[in-house]
Amino acid sequence: MQLQSAKQRYAIIGNNEGLNRALETCLRVAPTELSVLITGESGVGKESLPKIIHAGSARKHNKYIAVNCGAIPAGTMDSELFGHVKGSFTGAQSERKGYFEEADGGTLFLDEVAEMPMETQVKLLRVLESGEFIRVGSSKVQKTDVRIIAATNVNVVQAIKKNKFREDLFYRLNTVPVTLPPLRNRREDIHLIFRKFAADFAEKFKMPTVKLTDDAVEVLQNYGWPGNIRQLKNITEQLSILEHSRIVGKDTLLTYLPDYATGGVPSKLEPENSDASWFKERQMLYNFVFELRNEVNNLKSLVRNFVKTGGEMNSESTQLMKDLYEGGEKGQAQKEPYLSLPAATGEYGDAEKSRHEALKAELAAEEDYTHEEIEETLNLEHHERKLIEKALEKHNNKRKTAARELGVSERTLYRKIKEYDL
């Protein structure tokens, strides 16, 4: 089966590179007996890929059974998959074959496999490794020859870390990984899919096909589509039924898009696979620059107060020093600003006295000295490096706690450490 014929047979629309790569992988792996794990967000159309794999395999003349693991109660999962014998539990009035027994010789598609209970995952792993299973309430080992294709919209790696999915089962299912891109990453396909849905609903409801104006098409393509293709189909159906006009403009379309209607449309999408680290780093740098400015202003006030009082500590100086200490610059403040000021100790040499008198005269000549500006580096990399060094020093080089305080992921912090050779 070729790529285009597979698209036509299973009504798959689009020419996105990620979509084509996923379909080509399925066509290539179909003749083998390898397990396949399909991942992607909810509503991207994962249920079509197992059919393509089954149709291209040597099992195509045998049964294909699709099971939604998320729709089966945990208490009856084992019975549904492996079957049960009569009297094995309340309500088991006769023996029943499970899906593994029914699909013997064919293909079993386990949708939302990450929703499967941990105890059932152990039994599934045994079937994958040896082809053996036991009915609920029985002690007889039975054999089955089933090809497993699984799908999930859950981040399985994160589920493993949270002990919600077995790592050994993941590696057994993930022999061939296939990922379907979300609709927001297939912008060139969105209008094509809309037109297909609009034509289908026009034929179904015996009415003219709904069409979009150019500005409405632009809105359609720039929308985030959290519900992916399922949401697009739903909105197309609403437009086909509820709108009297067959030409839909931008303003009309906006009323059907939840985020647009509430004014919650983001102005810029995050970069793909960024896990928001870029935004967190930028916010971290902004916070640092503002804090640094406040500390510099406090330090200038402290110096002026020392000069005016001849080096004597008063309540204002004490409060300024306390503010600096509590601002997160304790070590630097102790080593540089305070001990380097001769006025802080009251010990003046001739040179120090001359500098002190000159500075005092300068202060007297400037009435609006409180708004004095000083030169300081505005290089973001310099401030970022300095902030990372202080966070690591504060937390004894523990990256996890340092990353939490900086507001970035541990992976991002590790990359920055390597970048700055810390």
Nearest residue to 223 (alpha-carbon basis) of 245, 191, 248 = 191
Indicate the CATH number of 3-181 among 3.40.50.300, 3.40.1740.10, 3.90.420.10, 3.90.1150.10: 3.40.50.300
The residue type of 36 is V
Query: To which H or E segment does residue 405 belong?
Result: helix 399-406
DSSP states of 298-320 as a string?
HHHHHHHHHHHHTT---HHHHHH
The residue type of 174 is N
Cβ pair 99, 80 in contact under 8 A: yes
What is the reported pLDDT for 354?
58
- Measured CA to CA, the distance from residue 155 to residue 41 in angstroms comes to 9
Distances (CA, A) of 10 to 5, 53, 246, 366: 9, 12, 28, 80
Instruction: Report DSSP state, residue 96.
Output: B
Provide the residue ranges of all domains of the chain, joining segments of one domain with +: 3-181, 184-261, 299-371, 380-420
- Measured CA to CA, the distance from residue 9 to residue 7 in angstroms comes to 6
Query: To which H or E segment does residue 231 belong?
Result: helix 228-242
Sheet with 176-179, edge to edge strand ranges: 64-68, 107-111, 147-152, 36-39, 176-179
Beta bridge partners of 147: 107
Cβ pair 54, 64 in contact under 8 A: yes
What is the reported pLDDT for 109?
93
pLDDT tens, position by position, 54-65: 999 999 999 999
What is the reported pLDDT for 54?
93
Distances (CA, A) of 261 to 17, 212, 250: 31, 18, 12
CATH of domain 380-420: 1.10.10
Task: Please give the CATH architecture assigned to the domain spanning 184-261.
Answer: Orthogonal Bundle (1.10)
What is the reported pLDDT for 63?
92
Low pLDDT (below 50) residues in the chain: 261-276, 328-348, 366-376
Record the tokens describing residue 42, joined without a space.
């909810």
3-state helix, strand, coil in the chain (%, to 5): 55, 10, 35
Nearest residue to 112 (alpha-carbon basis) of 21, 46, 179, 19 = 46
What is the reported pLDDT for 24?
92
Q: Compute CA 194 distance to the chain's CA centroid, rounded to the nearest angstrom.
A: 26
